[in-house]
């Protein structure tokens, strides 16, 4: 009998037959979701011999939701996710330069999913533009609610933009040209502390030894500079028994049981992840820095088709593809379902169904090493056999 996952004292209780809402997504979303869900269902059935299963609850968001309900994000969808605690989604479209705000951002705000968690690790056999992709094993903790993604902006020549421009120029001695579009970013102490706390909890629970704060505090001193300061303060006040800074370490080996806290300027970090990727373990970032870096690091391990993600708060978690909906490929049964499959693996680990998660990871790795892959990976693997989305899923299932 199906049951909902429950929260108890901050932890989840997962029944053997949990109900999990799923949003298939826009564009290529439906075919990606069909492939990914078939892999997950097959792995659970095989590993647990039928004693466990997921009862998927389809819910609407995006273009299909608007066509059927007149809303891009129906209240029923939000309610279902809140009640079921854990959900998964495919890619949703967002118009550029106009139209509705991002549904992804709206979901994060409405459900207070303040931590975007993106683990990036190379799957052996996956083509890469770098010499040592095996050194990449980094988890990005990206603050999800604040920074530029708060979406506080006004178009050029609007009454609001003119009012803000006049005030800043006249009262704050700024030099903003007339007719400029205006945007405001903010970073709060509360928002910073909770993303750093989440990252340090993850590091402690998963044996991660280095947590790096990524910021542009040399220029934006009172937002990103404050982000850096608040992160260090939180680490010392709540995790002082296990953390040590670079200055305190002074070049000595990291003691057993300790977690190193350091920080890097954002632009330098892009160089670091290419030249010294093995030196980094967990990155804690404001929203935009985390967005750029997660995509850049994913490029080293096969691209966004192999990059999972999750949006997590203190009560609800949504696991999702990190790439867009690729409408030009919609209906062609062509694109890589790997991002949703690996996001589902994250979800299974979150549910403590580790055996199923490991089975999927092993089968996916074997399938790639057999050089039977979708087009995005095939073009980088000599002698590869190019498979469709559905064929790739079938090959993974055969390797379970």
> Which of 301, 329, 363 is the C-terminal boundary of a domain?
301
Q: How far apart are CA 200 and CA 236, in angstroms?
A: 11
State yes or no: is 281 an active-site residue. no
> Which of 256, 283, 301 is the C-terminal boundary of a domain?
301
**Domain range holding 353?**
1-114+307-399
Q: Do 37 and 162 have their domain in common?
A: no
State yes or no: is 258 an active-site residue. no
Q: Do 138 and 230 have their domain in common?
A: yes
* Tens-digit pLDDT profile for residues 111-120: 999 999 999 9
pTM score, two decimals?
0.93
Q: Is 102 annotated as a binding residue?
A: yes
Based on the structure, what is the number of domains in the chain? 3
In the chain, which residues have pLDDT < 70? 94-101
122 domain residue, yes or no: no
Q: Do 137 and 235 have their domain in common?
A: yes
What is the reported pLDDT for 123?
94
Contacts 24+ apart (CB under 8 A), 376-382: 376/302, 376/303, 376/305, 376/335, 376/336, 377/126, 377/127, 377/302, 377/305, 377/306, 377/336, 379/127, 380/127, 380/128, 380/302, 381/125, 381/127
- The answer to whether the beta carbons of residues 356 and 47 sit under 8 Å apart is yes
Q: Is 329 annotated as a binding residue?
A: yes
What is the reported pLDDT for 100?
58
What is the reported pLDDT for 96?
52
* Tens-digit pLDDT profile for residues 251-290: 899 999 999 999 999 999 999 999 999 999 999 999 999 9
Name the active-site residue from 26, 147, 281, 291: 291
Q: Do 229 and 315 have their domain in common?
A: no
Q: Is 114 annotated as a binding residue?
A: no
20 domain residue, yes or no: yes
Q: Do 203 and 142 have their domain in common?
A: yes
Q: Is 307 annotated as a binding residue?
A: no
State yes or no: is 267 an active-site residue. yes
State yes or no: is 137 an active-site residue. no
What is the reported pLDDT for 325?
87
Q: Do 247 and 382 have their domain in common?
A: no
């Amino acid at each position: 009998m199906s049951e909902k996952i429950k929260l108890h004292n901050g932890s989840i209780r997962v029944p053997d037959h949990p109900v999990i809402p799923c949003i298939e997504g826009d564009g290529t979303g439906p075919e990606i979701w069909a492939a990914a869900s078939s892999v997950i269902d097959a792995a659970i059935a095989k590993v647990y011999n039928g004693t466990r299963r997921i009862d998927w609850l389809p819910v609407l968001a995006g273009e299909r939701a608007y066509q059927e309900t007149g809303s891009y994000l129906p209240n029923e969808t939000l309610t279902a996710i809140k009640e079921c605690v854990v959900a998964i989604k495919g890619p949703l479209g967002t118009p550029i330069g106009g139209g509705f705000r991002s549904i992804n951002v709206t979901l994060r705000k409405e459900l207070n999913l303040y931590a975007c968690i993106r683990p990036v690790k190379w799957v052996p056999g996956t083509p890469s533009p770098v010499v040592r992709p095996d050194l990449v094993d980094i988890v990005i903790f990206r603050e999800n609610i604040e920074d530029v993604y708060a979406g506080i902006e006004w178009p050029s020549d609007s009454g609001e933009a003119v009012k803000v421009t006049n005030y800043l120029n006249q009262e704050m001695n700024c030099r903003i040209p007339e007719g400029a579009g205006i945007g405001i970013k903010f970073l709060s102490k509360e928002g910073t502390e909770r993303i750093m706390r989440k990252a340090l909890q993850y590091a402690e629970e998963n044996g991660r030894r280095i947590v790096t704060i990524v910021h542009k505090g040399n220029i934006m001193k009172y937002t990103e500079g404050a982000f850096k300061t608040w992160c260090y303060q939180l680490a010392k006040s709540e995790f002082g028994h296990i953390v040590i800074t670079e200055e305190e370490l002074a070049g000595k080996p990291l003691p057993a049981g300790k977690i190193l806290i350091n920080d890097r300027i954002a632009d330098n970090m892009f160089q670091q992840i290419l030249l010294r990727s093995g030196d980094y373990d967990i990155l804690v970032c404001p929203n935009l820095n985390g967005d750029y870096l997660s995509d850049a690091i994913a490029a080293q391990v096969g691209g966004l088709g192999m990059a999972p993600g999750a949006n997590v708060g203190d009560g609800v978690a949504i696991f999702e593809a990190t790439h867009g909906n690729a409408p030009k490929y919609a209906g062609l049964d062509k694109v890589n379902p790997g991002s949703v499959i690996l996001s589902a693996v994250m979800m299974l680990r979150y549910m403590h169904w580790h055996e199923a998660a490991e089975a999927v990871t092993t089968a996916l790795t074997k399938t790639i090493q057999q050089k039977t892959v979708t087009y995005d990976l095939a073009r980088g693997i000599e002698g590869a056999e190019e498979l469709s989305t559905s064929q790739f899923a079938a090959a993974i299932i055969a390797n379970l």
